[in-house]
Structure 1
């Protein structure tokens, strides 16, 4: 399973995050992974993998200007290869890599041009699903952290607008979703992320006060919107099955048959619902990517962070984790290619070790799509080797979650605990003293939007833009970037910016002086989600049911 997600970056900065971040993911991960899937389709492979595409990604890759700019960006990578060829301050071994990088990026530029001629990535992904090669998952409109949303109407609206967006480009609503951050919350009062925690454990996981009313579990929302299956992290099911706590940053050994950990080898029905939860199997997934180790750290693979300065591509290999970037060995593509073959074969052996004693059972290996090609330069080659190796293996078979659910409907029911994929598998990756102001800002913005929009009178475009700003403010990416220390300032600026625009619009609506110029100025930059019908209805349930401009 691959999860294709970035927050909304269009018109919000260029470098080093902003649109540069988008182009890095699009150009070096989403494009080459899609090319691989088309190659596998041409070879006759079917039911290959499940690909999650969030509405924010779908909106941005459909943008014509961004598509044109990605072509320019890829051309810039080709030009950088030429700079590297003549870089007189670099060793000859580094200059000699210029042809390797030139061929790689020129090929991606050509493929991008071909994809755009065929209607863009959305058309290609949809065609791959129609051909039975992949299953596409959707998600809520702006990827909010659902366990800590306190308004059921806004949860429903995020789902409704997100699933409707997916249906517009695929022709049908998705059957499954990759729940944002693999977050889950059962029925009961919601933890208050705006309040000081009563305790914080050694892992940073806060115990937050719960003072509100009992709210539906997330599976009740999913069921109401026709979602049949979702992804959670392994500890969610293991805890539900009575498994003991452990250090979840360390790859666990495969669970013995009948042990609580073996629950991950099939789906389970959540509570009394018909929604199935499938869990990422950490005993397999962590061989590839984990908090502490994984194949991309192998000594022959390219080191993304050893850049060598301006004018060259990263051209050094991992070498030794104790060495600083300026002491790394020069990258050797052929050695790296051989290592991808070894690592693909190793994981196929791991799969046999887990599944040979479990006939008919399942391993879910789930990753961010951005891992393959961007964070792990050789990752797409590794993925292709793994998938082709499995196809040639008489003892293993790939599947999508939709196919698995249809062939093997789960019968086991479990009540799941509140959880996520984040640190210690709780809220620690989104709720800290540093992020608490973000949650407080979100709650203030929700209250302000409800007040300003009450009654549904006039200013349709401004009202729709209020809903957009609130939805973008709710993205789970902003607090996560702060807790991880990855461009925390950018995340804080985005929260402040969306909140400020929301309040400007609410001020204008409340005094009845909405200027078209003001709305257009904001909307030209923040034009997602495109359709906020359900978000508007959630904020103003008594208002007239109009489709916003």
Structure 2
């Protein structure tokens, strides 16, 4: 009989990137890479576990932007073309390396992998939400929501209606998609501020996730630290991230993904191949890019990319099994130690970005597969659980007030508010003020109704924390700046047109086609609370 619980939580999120006005936009490939390397491999792991009678339990947030993109016919069609290109390139690679033993082995590995992705993609009629929902329906996967566009809630708390819109629109979208209300929410960037729990409760949510120090520095100090959730005064439970299990996977120094057997992310065929050969598979303007075929392994720390040795999936898979066994062993010892001190079943919450598994850490889905199998067959110290199931099993918890927190740099709000991105917030605040003002209006006709709803969409899209995050990281900054400005400019035009009573119907129709997220949104969500 188990004496504790482990909750594996994956946060599946991408910003809403969809450009029907262009034939090719590089940033759309964020989704395509995630489908190929993370979402389909995870589904294949789930299918294998179910097939083998393993009653796995996992929590996974799927954010509204990601869900909307996975359901979008245009992006489904474009992914289909992207995958076809990958399949074509791997066929060429198998031919090219027909007489080179190890390279042939690697090319055939990718050919088999992409063929498996194709089979899964077509089995679910290109609808991966349908695929994930079957595991929600079977009770294996607890799917939770997030902010409507992953808006950073502590930096909009001076406008409660804006926070409410992020929560309520997300919950409504979830129910439209999955046919039931969500039980929990991954607060965007795990960012908590005091008072947001009341809105979480009003939205009908039962629990939220925040970083560990949000629980550890709660008032009064929680008796069991982050190894049990706390109940807020609103009745909503707060779960905190476990530092020890997180470090084993996340840490760039000691984390599993740095093992020398694993695939090297930064060396890719798109840069290694001769230009004329790879040209049909890179950007239309002729610029090189990653194509997703990588033949080398990490090899060792401090080595240049040219010094990397060839990858071997067999030994990488063996290493993933070893790491999964080590993770399980450490959780057993951790839970035994905690149980001895707590005298009640501890909970270890291990949350990660979903894209770590497969995209950044190619072997991550193998790790998850081995972890569930080993935990099912090889130990009885802990049970893998959903967060919702844990609350059913352990309904009595301490009541505390969490501390402000996030899982960003230094644990608070600095990553999303600094000298690289501070310029966006006066504009976002002004847009929120204006949207709250528009929320009180009654439309004169159908055109104004559409304009008001589109205004709400543009504010939400501008508020995405991804744009501030990208500005801080220094990668793809022009795109993040362009997206922030374009949504604000579209919103301001709508605001001005509505105020003069003259909505540009042709322009509105174009914007509705481009920014088509939340088709059933009601702008009145911004009315005073």
What TM-score, normalized by structure 1, do the two folds share?
Answer: 0.85
Which of 312, 323, 335 aligns to 2:303? It is 323
Indicate whether 1:418 and 2:386 are aligned.
no
RMSD: 2.3
Are the aligned partners of 2:19 and 2:25 in contact in 1 as well (CA < 8 Å)? no
1:239, CA displacement in angstroms? 2.1
Q: CA offset at residue 225 of structure 1?
A: 1.3
1:33 matched to which residue of 2? 42
CA contact (8 A) 1:238 1:261 kept: no
Does 2:94 correspond to 1:85? yes
Equivalent residues, number: 491
Equivalents in 1 of 2:218, 2:138: separation in Å?
Answer: 37
Residues 71/303 of structure 1: CA separation in 2 closer, same or farther (3 Å cut): same
Residues 102-501 of structure 1 correspond to what in structure 2 (within 5 A)?
Answer: 102-116=111-125, 120-149=127-156, 150-186=158-194, 217-240=195-218, 262-270=224-232, 272-290=233-251, 292-308=253-269, 309=271, 310=273, 311=278, 313-359=293-339, 360-392=345-377, 393-451=379-437, 455-458=441-444, 459-501=448-490
Aligned match of 1:254: none
Q: Flag structure 1 segments of 5+ consecutive residues without an equivalent.
A: 187-216, 244-259, 543-549
- Distance in 1 (alpha carbons) for counterparts of 2:386 and 2:503: 49
5+ residue gaps, structure 2, are: 1-8, 279-290, 340-344
Task: Find 1:524's aligned residue among 503, 513, 520.
Answer: 513
In the TM superposition, 1:30-109 aligns within 5 A as 30-46=39-55, 48-87=57-96, 93-109=102-118
1:62-121 deviation per Cα after TM superposition (whole angstroms, max 9, x unaligned): 112212222222222222212333558x9864354111110001111111110126xx22
The structure with more helix, counted as a fraction of residues: 2
Q: What's the secondary structure of 2:210's corresponding residue?
A: strand
Choose which of 9, 23, 35 in structure 1 pairs with 2:17.
9
Deviation of 1:23 (Å): 0.7
Partner of 1:202: none
Whole-angstrom CA distance in 2 between matches of 1:450 and 1:220 = 20
Query: Given that residues 431 and 488 in structure 2 are in contact (C-alpha distance below 8 angstroms), is that contact kept between their aligned partners in structure 1?
Result: yes
Asked if 2 retains the 8 angstrom alpha-carbon contact of 1:241 and 1:263, the reply is no
Contact 2:63 2:150 in 1 (8 A): yes
Give how far 1:515 is off. 2.3
Which segment is superposed worse, 121-130 or 403-412?
121-130
Is the 2:404–2:412 Cα contact (8 Å) retained in structure 1? yes
Give the Cα–Cα distance (whole angstroms) in 2 for the partners of residues 20 and 261 of structure 1: 46
Change (3 A) 1:500 1:224: same
Query: What is the CA distance between 1:400 and its match in structure 2?
Result: 0.2
> 1:440: how far off?
1.6
Pick 1 or 2: higher relative contact order, CA cutoff 8 A, min separation 6: 2
Structure 1 residues 291 and 14: alpha-carbon distance in aligned structure 2, compared to 1, 3 A threshold: farther
How far apart, CA to CA, are the structure 2 residues paired with 1:476 and 1:291? 24
